[in-house]
Structure 1
Amino acid sequence: MKLLLVEDDFDLSGVLSRSLSSRGFELLCCADGIEALAAARKKRFDVIVLDLSLPGLDGLELLQRLRGDGNLTPVLVLTARGAVGERIAGLNAGADDYLAKPFDLDELIARLGALTRRLGRDGELRCGQLRYEAASNAFYRDQSPLDLSPREAELLKSLMSRVDHVVPKEALRSAVFDDATHVDAVEVLVHRLRKKLQGASVEILTLRGVGYLLCDDASTAAQKA
């Protein structure tokens, strides 16, 4: 698993680097927000561990820029214990989870596993009856292939990479279209995709003014119960 560790505390970064490497993680460590942003834009990571207090570019701004780029890599934010405002700001900016310092290494590894568990072997993504195979770059409803346009496929891939998390509309626009395309084009694409996903036991929820969320019907029913 490829992990980007963004932490300016060299002692903590060193401990985490040695410990996570011994657990099978392939790490790149950055102590500066600008350096980390460049690394995340250049290389694909499976997960990012992000401290918010960074020189050069603070972690919150770094996270916002990544999501603005359409980068949907799972992000676990490290915060000071009791810093509720930091946790809320990080989650609102697109973080997937947070962990308060000081923390237990086993808990960190468990949380990283939970964040990346939806990405199965060989880059497989699942939600309800939907399945995406990275090797063939194909989507299936159970065993039947889905007939999707390239843009529909890219949109669905972006949503499936963050199942049960809100994906900002701007992030989807950046992932699917060029910079000249109006963000409202995402709404049209979502409408078409919803029609093709009927009967697949999934739902694309709209959070007005925020973005879209893909979840399976079982999760939706549980939330409404």
Structure 2
Amino acid sequence: MSLQILIVDDDLSMRMLLAEYFRRLGFAVEEYESAEEALEPALSGRFDCFIFDVTMSGMSGLDLLKRVRDRDINTPAMFLTAHDAVDDKVAGFQAGADDYLA
């Protein structure tokens, strides 16, 4: 059984690039354009890893991860984003991220 990765990013090209990369490595990938679409799957507990963008229309990746963590789901989570200020990184870790790549 392959590891399950949830990717949430409103940038189609980034989302497709990440999904294709991980699929070629043998991972099972689900991808969503918005945090709202991804909320229910993220809360299902079936994923081994989350990769979220921070800024999306509607709910942010930060808010998505906070909701997941509020349900005691401790799936490893990483933010992949252009937001590289120290305050942005701190906010990501405070939201519950395990890693933050800017």
Distance 1:82 1:41 in 2: 27
**Per-residue deviation at 1:75?**
0.2
Structure 1 outlier segments of 4+, above 6 Å: none
Cα-to-partner distance string for 1:10-57 (whole Å, 9 max, x where unaligned): 011111111110011100001111111111113510000010111221
Alignment of 1:53-92 (within 5 A): 53-80=55-82, 82-92=84-94
Distance 1:64 1:81 in 2: 18
- Determine which of 13, 19, 22 is the counterpart of 1:20: 22
Unaligned runs of 5+ in 2: none
Alignment match, 1:179: none
Asked if 2 retains the 8 angstrom alpha-carbon contact of 1:6 and 1:33, the reply is: yes
- Determine which of 46, 49, 52 is the counterpart of 1:50: 52
Unaligned runs of 5+ in 1: 101-225
Structure 2 counterpart of 1:76, one-letter code:
M
Distance 1:33 1:46 in 2: 18
Asked if 2 retains the 8 angstrom alpha-carbon contact of 1:79 and 1:87, the reply is: no
Asked if 1 retains the 8 angstrom alpha-carbon contact of 2:4 and 2:27, the reply is: yes
Q: Sequence identity, in percent?
A: 39
Asked if 2 retains the 8 angstrom alpha-carbon contact of 1:67 and 1:94, the reply is: yes
Q: Relative contact order (C-alpha < 8 Å, sep 6+): which is higher?
A: 2
**Per-residue deviation at 1:83?**
2.4
Alignment match, 2:9: 7
Alignment of 1:38-187 (within 5 A): 38-80=40-82, 82-100=84-102
Q: In the comparison of the two structures, how many residue pairs are matched?
A: 100
Larger Cα Rg: Structure 1 or Structure 2?
A: 1
* C-alpha distance 2-53 of structure 1, shift in aligned 2 (>3 A): same
What is the TM-score normalised by the length of structure 1?
0.43
Asked if 1 retains the 8 angstrom alpha-carbon contact of 2:45 and 2:73, the reply is: no
Distance 1:92 1:35 in 2: 23
Tell me, what secondary structure is at the counterpart of 2:100? strand
Distance 1:61 1:40 in 2: 12
Structure 2 counterpart of 1:42, one-letter code:
S
* Pairwise CA RMSD: 1.2
What is the TM-score normalised by the length of structure 2?
0.91
Distance 1:52 1:28 in 2: 18
Distance 2:77 2:12 in 1: 20
Alignment match, 1:36: 38
Distance 2:45 2:68 in 1: 12
Distance 1:52 1:81 in 2: 8
